[in-house]
Structure 1
């Protein structure tokens, strides 16, 4: 379950310090069988902010909870107005060097799989295949009544037609694709229903306070069991949805390696935490492994 964002974690002084030594990551990847677990931090270089890093969106923004969305029509209006505007920017985001390096590692047979906590689809856009989207995808919409799935672009078109002239200026965009708008800015926004049954539409993502589907959790646990090691990229591991896989790997004696600039809740289980920007770190690792990224051989650092 994704916990309510107000239940935050604060780093403690007994966590091991970060390092700039990438050799353990290089060694793990050269051995193969690495399972990647990525979080919002891998997408920040694509212009999508994270929740908890420096300047993270939780300092100014509380994401919609499942309970509020399902219980309150006004909350749904506010969500869809903000999300519709945010989608215009969010949908234009492109993969960065970190996403492309992960795809390159996969292409060279070094990964056993990939799990992402992100809902932006950037791993797939970079060429990664078989990525498990732990929290779903903003590119899909689901009806809460009949379960019909439909493309987000179709809903975007319908919302454009129902809200001609809706052009507010947002204060910012958040990791869930939600734009920062005031209540006054969303007051007259029109929400559209499911075209099949007239029911309530929701993005096909796991909201805070909502449970990750058990079958998806089981799939991820199986990936952890099959992996030789776990490489965490850009996640604070603050909530249990990702931390449980770190605990599982460590409990099975598998090396856990983390690349994240800030301390994480999983540091105590990790062999190392590399405190470097992800694009730089993963491109450097690719260079040391003589793996091309973007069709060019990366420069070894």
Structure 2
């Protein structure tokens, strides 16, 4: 049995490191451009002026894939479910995930689409702005969910994000609601647009949001029966609902915050799959999310379980 399943997106991330004032100029100039810390969907590759970037990198990403890697790094037997395009081998998407400890044997290849893309802009302080193009991720539908439902149903924890169709997630949650036993479901509504209805599903146990997502979904989250976990950058992580708890992140010097939320969610799900209490899982996830910001990039910046545990031990000893 798989400990954690992440049903979601796989992207090729094109990351551009730019001065803060240049990104602010793009934010002002283009209606589609995300706000700081926000992920938005766009219809196609953005048309941008020639940018004098400090660096321009293309790596494997996507919230579903990133969170799967984070769960695997935290020690969970992890599978990723989703779709990639005809160009995945060019970027080594599946090979990279497999090398990082994630099972990819049920990922579908879509011949007539490209793998999803993400355009990530990172400023001098490590803050990120993200715009995504669905590509093959849009092929994850109810039929795909039904084909792989047994693998989802028998997992200990299920990770969901909002970079695949809401209909696909509605399908899996609808089926899980009728199960006598089911995985713990961790939902990260990023991007927030269209995610509201999923917060009302009884199969969702934990919703993890950052400040931007919390503001966008505040009304729906107020009616949510499970636990809402709100991450706030360097400020305390606050959990409310079934458990009321706060965790202060370790002090770090961030250089890239892009993968912090994914490291948090994947680690949280991994510990929940082990039967750890939510408070302990939140502490580990908070450390993992913080440590993921001190290295540029996303997947390779996610700390392993040993590193997280060492920080937790030091924090406990220091009081």
Q: TM-score, normalised by structure 1?
A: 0.37
Rg: which structure is higher?
1
Higher RCO, 1 or 2 (CA under 8 Å, sep at least 6)?
1
Q: TM-score, normalised by structure 2?
A: 0.35
